[in-house]
């Protein structure tokens, strides 16, 4: 009798075949697309079950997890012909570790820069000299969606990167292109991104004087692999549809929620306020840095005036509970986000140690709750079943606007860790002390979606005043997003 995993393998293979048969012959790949079973955070027993059903190609996102599985004694005996695909972001300092410790490594699918290609080529040269294993297969990851939180080279630079790999990296074998579609409920969005990669592949093959079948297209995951096949995919990466019994549909906020700006009238003179608004950097003294703590999956540091925040990210890591309780059922389908906030002893002038239990702990817990509530609307926890993502926020100096600074810092840390999010969350705050209004309003805002993730008012302000403040803060957050995206792109290219 087939196990649940084996039944899912058969079902997915049937869907792949059906989608391929329905695809325009001018677009579809020459043979039925390959199924890569994404086994990240899945136990060895599930991988063995899939292998027993005929599955040979498996994808992993994390270097250490792949090394552990590739050298597992049970897997080595039960799955001798397994082929590993590395499909996660690969840091330069982990290239040698990956290449030298993973037997049966079939391909690295996420080459997105010349630096990474050069490093892989250098390590591959040593491997070829020592063991005569041949070239390392690579694919180029292209960011066809333009989302800042996703890795991948820009579409305009893909042809240049491909030529560099072919001409300057003799120990690498370019076998294809890879992309990750937008987590959208609109098929037109993902179809456009997949078609873009199809066109990029054709252009690269024309430039290199190659036949188009010489470059594979790795695109499509559990939620969109059939669309990808219809756009010419030759390899789909499917995880939850194989290994998960309980699956939830991703909610696309852009289509299923109502922007705040649609619920109330615009504040007076809002257009004039926008025209008169200055850039983020001219208003505040800001410094930010990503990837500043190597021992974590992601990290970011931000200074806004004299407030200083450090945020680090742990995970995604296994956090599975028994499905007998409601929390276990929830974790099995959509993962968990945890936030921890700690003030440094020297964070605020005059902060007394004896007040820590009474005041500091309460303040830390309040901040952690607010930040967690905000990012539960931002992080695609549906992408991380049975896993936990931990945000650790260290407040090094508190000179005001700690919540605002922490939210902005967390966004950059999540991008640094490669965590999938709906949009960049930016935050701004405003305080009024006028005509009886003495409230402080802080918002967390996804400007691309026109969506509020957090609205926090302390003190008092009238409803009319709040509406005006809200509009001004939305404008500021939109400016913040433009500035943040520019800074993130610059730092990710370093």
Question: Could you tell me the two tokens for 212?
Answer: 């188009």
Residues 48 and 197 in one domain: yes
Is 334 within a domain?
Answer: yes
Query: Looking at residue 131, what is its pLDDT?
Result: 53
Can you name the residues that pair with 301 across neighbouring β-strands? 289, 310
Query: Looking at residue 170, what is its pLDDT?
Result: 95
Strand order through the sheet with 298-304: 286-290, 298-304, 307-318, 387-397, 336-343
For tokens 């003495």, name the residue.
438
Query: How far, rounded to the nearest angstrom, does the alpha carbon of residue 450 sit from its chain's CA centroid?
Result: 20
Residues 36 and 115 in one domain: yes
Q: Which residues contact 196 (CB under 8 A, 6 or more apart)?
A: 144, 155
Residues 244 and 293 in one domain: no
Residues 408 and 341 in one domain: yes
Residues 310 and 201 in one domain: no
Is 435 within a domain?
Answer: yes
How many CA atoms are closer than 13 Å to the CA of 472, on its beta-carbon side? 19
Query: Looking at residue 285, what is its pLDDT?
Result: 76
Residues 217 and 303 in one domain: no
Query: How far, rounded to the nearest angstrom, does the alpha carbon of residue 297 sit from its chain's CA centroid?
Result: 12
Is 106 within a domain?
Answer: yes
Q: Which residues contact 77 (CB under 8 A, 6 or more apart)?
A: none
Alpha-carbon dihedral of residues 319, 375, 298, 481, nearest 10 degrees? 160
Longest dimension (CA), the chain: 79
Residues 340 and 449 in one domain: yes
Question: Could you tell me the two tokens for 435?
Answer: 């005509």
Q: How far apart are CA 210 and CA 272, in angstroms?
A: 55
Q: How far apart are CA 344 and CA 274, in angstroms?
A: 37
Dump pLDDT digits (tens) for 300-325.
999 988 899 999 998 787 764 444 44
Q: In total, how many domains does the chain have?
A: 2
Is 303 within a domain?
Answer: yes
CATH code, domain with 125: 3.20.20.10
Query: Looking at residue 348, what is its pLDDT?
Result: 65
Parent domain of 133: 4-250
pLDDT beneath 50, residues of the chain: 132, 245-282, 320-331, 351-354
CATH code, domain with 415: 3.30.230.70
Q: How far apart are CA 134 and CA 124, in angstroms?
A: 8
Alpha-carbon dihedral of residues 75, 77, 82, 85, nearest 10 degrees? 40
Residues 339 and 487 in one domain: yes
* SS3 call for 206: helix
Query: Looking at residue 263, what is its pLDDT?
Result: 35
Is 453 within a domain?
Answer: yes
Residues 73 and 206 in one domain: yes
- What's the pTM value of the predicted model, to 2 decimals? 0.57
H or E segment and range at residue 97: helix 95-101
Q: How far apart are CA 374 and CA 421, in angstroms?
A: 12
Residues 12 and 143 in one domain: yes
Residues 244 and 361 in one domain: no
């Amino acid at each position: 009798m087939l196990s649940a995993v084996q039944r899912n393998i058969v079902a997915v293979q049937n869907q792949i075949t059906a989608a391929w048969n329905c695809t325009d012959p001018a677009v579809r790949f020459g043979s039925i697309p390959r199924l890569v079973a994404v086994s990240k955070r899945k136990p060895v027993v599930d991988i063995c079950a899939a292998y027993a059903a005929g599955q040979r190609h498996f994808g992993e996102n994390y270097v250490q997890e792949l090394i552990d599985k590739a050298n597992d004694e049970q897997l080595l005996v039960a799955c001798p012909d397994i082929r590993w695909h590395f499909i996660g972001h690969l840091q330069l300092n982990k290239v040698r570790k990956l290449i030298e410790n993973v037997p049966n490594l079939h391909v690295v699918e996420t080459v997105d820069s010349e630096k990474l290609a050069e490093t892989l080529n250098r390590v591959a040269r040593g491997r070829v000299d020592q063991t005569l294993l041949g070239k390392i297969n690579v694919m180029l990851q292209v960011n066809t969606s333009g989302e800042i939180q996703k890795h991948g080279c820009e579409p305009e630079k893909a042809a240049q990167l491909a030529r560099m790999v072919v001409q300057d990296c003799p120990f690498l074998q370019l076998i294809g292109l890879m992309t990750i579609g937008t987590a959208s409920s609109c098929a037109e969005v993902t179809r456009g991104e997949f078609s873009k990669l199809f066109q990029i592949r054709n252009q690269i093959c024309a430039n290199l004087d190659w036949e188009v079948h010489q470059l594979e297209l790795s695109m499509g995951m559990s939620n969109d692999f059939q669309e990808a096949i219809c756009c010419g995919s030759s390899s789909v990466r499917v995880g939850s549809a194989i290994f998960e019994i309980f699956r939830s549909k991703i909610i696309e906020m852009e289509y299923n929620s109502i922007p705040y700006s649609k619920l109330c009238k615009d504040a007076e003179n809002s257009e004039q306020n926008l025209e008169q608004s200055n850039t983020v950097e001219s208003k505040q003294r800001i410094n930010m840095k990503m990837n500043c703590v190597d021992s974590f999956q992601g990290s970011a540091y931000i200074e806004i005036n004299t407030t200083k925040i450090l945020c680090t990210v742990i995970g995604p890591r296994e956090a599975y509970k028994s499905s007998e309780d409601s929390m276990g059922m929830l974790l099995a389908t959509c993962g968990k986000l945890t936030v921890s906030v700690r003030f440094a002893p020297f964070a605020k002038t005059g902060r007394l140690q004896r007040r820590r239990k009474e005041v500091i702990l309460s303040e830390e817990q309040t901040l952690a709750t607010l930040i967690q509530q905000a990012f539960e609307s931002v992080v695609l926890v549906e992408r991380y079943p049975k896993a936990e993502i931990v945000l650790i926020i260290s407040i090094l100096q508190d000179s005001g606007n700690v919540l605002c600074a922490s939210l902005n810092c967390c966004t950059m840390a999540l991008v640094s860790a490669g965590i999938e999010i709906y949009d960049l969350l930016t935050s701004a705050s405003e305080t009024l002390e006028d005509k009886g209004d003495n409230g402080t309003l802080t918002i967390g805002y996804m400007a691309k979606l026109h969506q509020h993730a957090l609205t926090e008012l302390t003190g008092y302000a009238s409803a009319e005043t709040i509406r005006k403040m809200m509009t001004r803060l939305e404008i500021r957050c939109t400016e913040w997003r433009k500035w943040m995206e520019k800074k993130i792109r610059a730092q990710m290219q370093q």
